[in-house]
Amino acid sequence: MKKQFVALLLWVALLGLTGSPATASTNEQTPFTKTEMEKFITDYPNFIQWLSKRNSRFESLHSPWLMAGMRYDKEFTARLAENKWDPDRFFYLLNHINTGLLLTASEKMEAEAKARMEQDRKEMQTQSDQQQQEMRQRTKDDNQEMQKQMAAHQAQIRANPYIPPQEKQRILAQMNQANLPASGAETAGQITEEQNRWFAAQEREIRANPFMHPMQRQQALQQIRQARQFQQQHTAAGQPDGPRFRSQEDMQKEMRNQHQEWFRNQKQSLQANQFIPPAQKQEMLKQLAASETQFNASLEPQPIPSIIPSAEKTLIEANQQKLMGIIFGEAKP
């Protein structure tokens, strides 16, 4: 199959590079029909057999580029005419069929590659989740063991007759204070809460500062928002749940959200700027909106124009196995 696909690539490249007059004439051809394709499937093996009597390489190699070289062979074009084929039409079908086979094979390979990537992502995520679960269980077991050891040590201190009662109370209080935190998740949550309080306090101080220029105030608040966003992402990456292996769609969605936030902040900054004349501000907002629209459009999947008519591609896909057989296999009449 790999040899066939390589041959298909070489064949399409040959047709694209020859620049023969046949290529120019086929540009004016209309899309082939189902009847024409059926006739091509029926007649092509007969032509291979006829050509193999002149040159055994046709039958032994089944090389489509050898067939392309027969475009201006008078005997072969006469043979085509005997079988009710216009030479331009026959080679138009040959060119488009091989191009369609290449497109179909390429699309199949791309779909398989995407499926493998998604499967790998899911397996990596499953493996990561399992590792995190095992780590949480080990942490829990270690905490329980340390709690047991701590309880045994405290029991020894309470039962020690040589330690004064007040000293026992002080030692036990210190041991309780130095005991393990509740859990990693709670600790991370406390850190995040403290960070949010600090950012909120900074924003209140900036807004309440009467000596700060409005533009400078907006810039400072923007910096605070960016720092908060960065810290949230950084903290989320270190959560005990472990990393999340995101799909391409998730990454595109995150990129879209980040740019939407950027456009929103830019718009707010412009609207709050008291030193830009109203007419100029309206023009700048209009340009910003146009840029946002253009950016959003660039993120949408763009259809790739086919180099052959869609009706032809549909027929080729429906007859792919037959076409691969007669062009690259041991086709017999």
How many other C-beta atoms are found inside a 10 Å radius of the C-beta of residue 300? 7
Mean pLDDT calculated for residue range 205-227:
74
Lowest mean pLDDT: which of 87-91, 189-193, 313-317?
189-193
Q: Percent of the chain having pLDDT more than 70? A: 75
pLDDT at site 312: 94
Closest C-alpha to 199, from 173, 227, 171? 227
163: tokens are: 């330690």
DSSP 238: T
Band (pLDDT 50/70/90 cuts) for residue 234 is low
The answer to whether 173 and 154 are in contact (CB under 8 A) is no
The answer to whether 256 and 299 are in contact (CB under 8 A) is yes
pTM over 0.75: no
pLDDT at site 2: 45
pLDDT digit string, tens, across residues 105-159: 888 888 898 888 888 888 888 887 888 888 888 888 887 887 888 788 778 878 8
Label residues 175-186 b or e (16+ Cβ within 10 Å = b). Answer: eeeeeeeeeeee
Mean pLDDT calculated for residue range 239-248:
55
Of residues 290 and 256, which shows the higher confidence score? 290
How many other C-beta atoms are found inside a 10 Å radius of the C-beta of residue 293? 11
Q: Is the pLDDT of residue 84 over 70?
A: yes
Which residues have CB under 8 Å from 306's CB, separation 6+? Answer: 103, 313
pLDDT at site 92: 94
Closest C-alpha to 132, from 234, 207, 61, 238? 238
Band (pLDDT 50/70/90 cuts) for residue 64 is low
35: tokens are: 């009847």
Q: Is the pLDDT of residue 13 over 60?
A: no
Lowest mean pLDDT: which of 3-17, 42-56, 64-78, 254-268?
3-17
pLDDT at site 187: 52
296: tokens are: 């959003």
DSSP 302: P
Q: Is the pLDDT of residue 6 over 50?
A: no
Amino acid identity of residue 209, one-letter, is: N
Q: Is the pLDDT of residue 19 over 60?
A: no
Mean pLDDT calculated for residue range 273-279:
87
DSSP string, 1-67: -HHHHHHHHHHHHHHHHH--HHHHHHTTPPPP-HHHHHHHHHHHHHHHHHHHHH-THHHHH--HHHH
Which residues have CB under 8 Å from 316's CB, separation 6+? Answer: 37, 96, 97, 100, 101, 104, 308, 323
Integer Cα distance of 58 and 2 in angstroms = 20
**Average pLDDT over all residues of the chain:** 77
258: tokens are: 């980040």
